[in-house]
């Protein structure tokens, strides 16, 4: 190895060690016998069975999954529309619209959380009775994750061969038929990876959810947070291991979807 | 096309723009425990006066800025060499190396912060290692200090730094470096005069992507920073949930928004999907 190659290797090794060591420890300690997260006392799967018997955690996970499915789907539809418009249409309010689409992505979660909650409280107070829970959480998650779908879709449309669409139009296809039979299938990988991203973001969100959730709705991150605040809990290591496994599979799947296209 | 535009536009106006108007209105109200919700609307600048006059809030703003800026710098120092090394790796290895940077971003944020709780605890693995290796006889607690918060922010947002840097460095025209070498520049000189200036857009984007979310961060200071770390996101949270002072929490939110308007506009200007630029 030359000096520079060795330097590049060691910087990458250090960087990846920094990124993965904490995750590796979570996985290793999920099989720890001891209740203490910091002491290794032998191999055991008892925290795995404890988590699988933890009804509160399981029902929170189920709620989170349902919310993530609905909000990712809504975000995919709205994000697809937004990305399509941004890539194709010219209209006077385009700059404002573009800013509006991307802003939720960079807005601090505490700010977005409080603003949405106060809106919901206002609706509840002055317009109609609003039950805070599933619906309000879905609205919040959709709003910030549609930006991610829009950006992926727009990027895909930017380097897209438009002659295919023109050919379809020349052959007499209406714009809607062209979109459905030519454009959509070609950008489907982008929409799917956008959906997966929105799904993951929704599953993971704590701060925004904490604001807009009612007392009855406890999502998985909310449960994890309240359990972690009381101190380290070996069941959370098990949950972390599952999350890492799912995320890795999702990423591989999404990488495969995007690669297939190009 | 109009219908396609209307759907996301209406959604964003209703659930993103309108809520800020509500927050602004409430931030001018006064807190009142007799009313439900706990505030009275009005026009009162008292909350803002408190925000920029009271020592506690001023200290919280300043330490948020300081912690976010230092963490951003640390992330840049770690992220730049990583992005550079990835962009110089063999082309067939790059997707894998990049995927390894993105993977942690896909795993739970909360769990990643939690992982550091076990690492940094008084009897945690890091301290055990320090004792075992003899580096420190009785290492103090890292958790509950600003150090832990810096570490957590760098760890959580490192992918946001590496990705835009990689994107600029990868697109860099290598012939410019060859030209520099032909003209007699040593590698370091070529890096400082060619690569570094050309990667400024990536540096700016990466720094903004780390700086913006860390300013309002709540989870990291709450779980790793303990009581001694003062950050504005945590202040907002406490005012809202613990003290139930909704107008004051709203004023904090508006202040945070005002503070971030500059960086956010800068970021959007840079990222703006501008079709004219492609021609």
Mean pLDDT computed over every residue of chain B: 85
Q: What does each C-alpha distance from B7 to A75, A104, B11, B76 come to in angstroms?
A: 11, 16, 6, 39
* Token pair listed for B210: 């780390």
Residue in A13, A68, A228 with CA at minimum distance from that of residue B112 = A228
**d(C-alpha A199, C-alpha B150), whole Å:** 28
Predicted confidence band of residue B279 (pLDDT cuts 50, 70, 90)? very low
Q: Which of A6-20, A28-42, A117-131, B15-29 has the lowest average pLDDT? A: A28-42
How far is A45 from chain B, CA to nearest CA, in Å?
19
**d(C-alpha B100, C-alpha A60), whole Å:** 29
**d(C-alpha B142, C-alpha B156), whole Å:** 17
Q: What percent of chain A has pLDDT over 70?
A: 96
Contacts by A156-164, CB closer than 8 A, 24 or more apart: A156/A83, A156/A187, A156/A189, A156/A190, A157/A83, A157/A84, A157/A87, A157/A88, A157/A183, A157/A187, A158/A87, A158/B273, A158/B275, A158/B278, A160/A186, A160/A187
CB pairs under 8 A between A and B: 236
Q: What percent of chain B has pLDDT over 70?
A: 95
Q: Which residue has the higher pLDDT, A75 or A3?
A: A75
How far is B116 from chain A, CA to nearest CA, in Å?
7
- Residue A7 burial by CB count (10 A; 0-12/13-18/19+): exposed, middle or buried? middle
- Give A-chain residues touching B268 at CB under 8 angstroms: 98-99, 102-103, 106
A11 closest CB neighbour out of B81, B121, B123: B81
Q: Which residue has the higher pLDDT, A3 or A112?
A: A112
B125 closest CB neighbour out of A18, A38, A88: A38
pLDDT for A258 equals 66
Chain A CB within 8 Å of residue B136 CB: no
pLDDT for B276 equals 44
Helices within chain B (DSSP H only) = 2-12, 18-27, 46-53, 55-88, 94-106, 109-120, 125-133, 146-171, 174-182, 187-190, 196-198, 200-215, 219-224, 232-237, 246-271
pLDDT beyond 90 at B79: yes
3-state helix, strand, coil in chain A (%, to 5): 80, 0, 20
Residues 16-75 on B with a CB inside 8 Å of A are 16-20, 22-23, 26, 37
Chain B CB within 8 Å of residue A257 CB: no
Residues 78-107 on B with a CB inside 8 Å of A are 78, 81-82, 84-86, 88-89, 95, 97, 99-104, 106-107
- Residue A36 burial by CB count (10 A; 0-12/13-18/19+): exposed, middle or buried? middle
A125 closest CB neighbour out of B37, B81, B240: B37
Q: What does each C-alpha distance from B103 to A19, A27, B97 come to in angstroms?
A: 9, 15, 10
Query: Residues for chain B: how many in total?
Result: 279
**Which residue in A has a C-alpha nearest to residue B20's C-alpha?**
A115
**d(C-alpha B166, C-alpha A253), whole Å:** 22
User: Average pLDDT in the B172-194 region?
Assistant: 83
B89/A87 Cβ within 8 A? no
* 3-state SS assignment for residue B207: helix
B278/A158 Cβ within 8 A? yes
Residue in B239, B236, B225, B237 with CA at minimum distance from that of residue B259 = B236
Residue in A137, A154, A162, A170 with CA at minimum distance from that of residue A68 = A137
pLDDT beyond 90 at B57: no
B19 closest CB neighbour out of A87, A118, A240: A118
Residues 170-199 on A with a CB inside 8 Å of B are none
Residue in B72, B73, B51 with CA at minimum distance from that of residue B62 = B51
Q: What does each C-alpha distance from B65 to A43, A73, B71, B77, B154 come to in angstroms?
A: 44, 37, 10, 18, 15
Q: Which residue has the higher pLDDT, B135 or A79?
A: A79
User: Average pLDDT in the B21-48 region?
Assistant: 80
pLDDT beyond 60 at B275: no
Residue in B195, B206, B187, B178 with CA at minimum distance from that of residue B263 = B206
* Token pair listed for A249: 């599979």
Q: Render pLDDT for B219-249 as a digit per residue (tens, 0 to 9).
A: 999 988 888 788 999 889 988 888 888 888 9
Beta-carbon-side half-sphere exposure of residue B40 (alpha carbons within 13 Å): 8
**d(C-alpha A101, C-alpha A160), whole Å:** 21
pLDDT for B55 equals 84
Highest mean pLDDT among A80-89, A98-107, B182-191, B205-214: B205-214
Residue in A159, A165, A191 with CA at minimum distance from that of residue A179 = A165
B253/A100 Cβ within 8 A? no
- Residue A37 burial by CB count (10 A; 0-12/13-18/19+): exposed, middle or buried? buried
Helices within A89-230 (DSSP H only) = 94-106, 109-126, 134-158, 163-170, 175-178, 184-204, 207-212, 220-229
Q: Render pLDDT for B127-142 as a digit per residue (tens, 0 to 9).
A: 777 777 777 766 677 7
Q: Rounded to 5 degrees, what angle do the CA atoms B28, B65, B206 make?
A: 115
A26/B116 Cβ within 8 A? no
User: Average pLDDT in the B92-119 region?
Assistant: 87
């Amino acid at each position: 190895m030359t000096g520079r190659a060795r330097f590049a290797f060691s910087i990458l090794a250090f960087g990846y060690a920094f990124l993965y060591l904490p995750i590796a420890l979570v996985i290793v300690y999920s099989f720890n016998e001891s209740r203490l997260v910091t002491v290794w006392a032998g191999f055991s799967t008892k925290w795995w069975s404890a988590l699988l018997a933890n009804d509160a955690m399981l029902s929170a996970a189920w709620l989170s999954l349902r919310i993530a499915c609905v909000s990712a789907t809504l975000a995919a539809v709205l994000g697809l529309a937004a990305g399509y418009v941004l890539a194709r249409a010219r209209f006077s309010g385009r700059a404002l619209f573009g800013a509006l689409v991307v802003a939720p992505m960079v807005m601090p979660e505490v700010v977005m959380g409080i603003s949405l909650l106060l809106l919901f409280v206002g609706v509840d107070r002055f317009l109609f009775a609003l039950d805070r829970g599933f619906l309000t959480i879905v609205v919040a998650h959709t709003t910030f994750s549609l930006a991610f779908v829009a950006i992926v879709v727009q990027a895909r449309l930017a380097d897209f061969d438009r002659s295919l669409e023109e050919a379809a139009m020349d052959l007499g296809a209406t714009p809607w038929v062209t979109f459905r039979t030519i454009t959509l299938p070609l950008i489907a990988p982008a929409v799917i990876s956008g959906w997966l991203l929105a799904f993951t973001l929704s599953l993971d969100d704590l701060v925004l959810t904490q604001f807009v959730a009612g007392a009855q709705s406890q999502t998985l991150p909310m449960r994890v947070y309240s359990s972690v605040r009381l101190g380290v809990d070996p069941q959370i290591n098990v949950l972390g291991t599952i999350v890492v496994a799912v995320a890795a599979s999702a990423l591989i799947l999404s990488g495969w979807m995007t690669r297939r296209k190009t | 096309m109009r219908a396609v535009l209307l759907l996301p536009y209406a959604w964003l106006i209703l659930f993103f723009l309108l809520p800020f108007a509500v927050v602004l209105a409430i931030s001018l109200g006064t807190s009142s425990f007799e009313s439900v919700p706990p505030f009275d609307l009005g026009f009162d600048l008292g909350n803002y006066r408190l925000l920029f006059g009271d020592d506690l809030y001023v200290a919280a703003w300043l330490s948020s800025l300081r912690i976010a800026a230092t963490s951003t710098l640390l992330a840049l120092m770690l992220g730049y060499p990583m992005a550079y090394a990835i962009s110089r790796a063999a082309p067939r290895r790059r997707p894998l190396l990049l995927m390894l940077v993105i993977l942690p971003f896909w795993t739970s944020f909360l769990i990643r912060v939690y992982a550091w709780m076990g690492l940094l605890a008084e009897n945690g693995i890091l301290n055990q290692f320090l004792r075992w290796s003899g580096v420190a006889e009785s290492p103090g607690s890292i958790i509950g200090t600003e150090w832990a918060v810096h570490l957590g922010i760098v760890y959580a947002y490192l992918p946001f730094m590496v990705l835009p840097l990689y994107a600029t460095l990868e697109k860099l025209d290598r012939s410019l470096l060859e030209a520099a070498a032909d003209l007699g520049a040593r590698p370091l000189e070529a890096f400082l005069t060619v690569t570094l200036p050309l990667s400024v857009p990536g540096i700016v984007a990466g720094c903004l992507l780390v700086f913006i979310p860390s300013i309002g961060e709540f989870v990291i200071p709450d779980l790793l920073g303990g009581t001694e770390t003062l950050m504005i996101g945590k202040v907002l949270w406490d005012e809202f949930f613990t003290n139930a002072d909704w107008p004051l929490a709203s004023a904090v939110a508006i202040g945070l928004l005002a503070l971030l308007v500059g960086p956010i506009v800068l970021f959007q200007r840079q990222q703006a999907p501008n079709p004219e630029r492609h021609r």
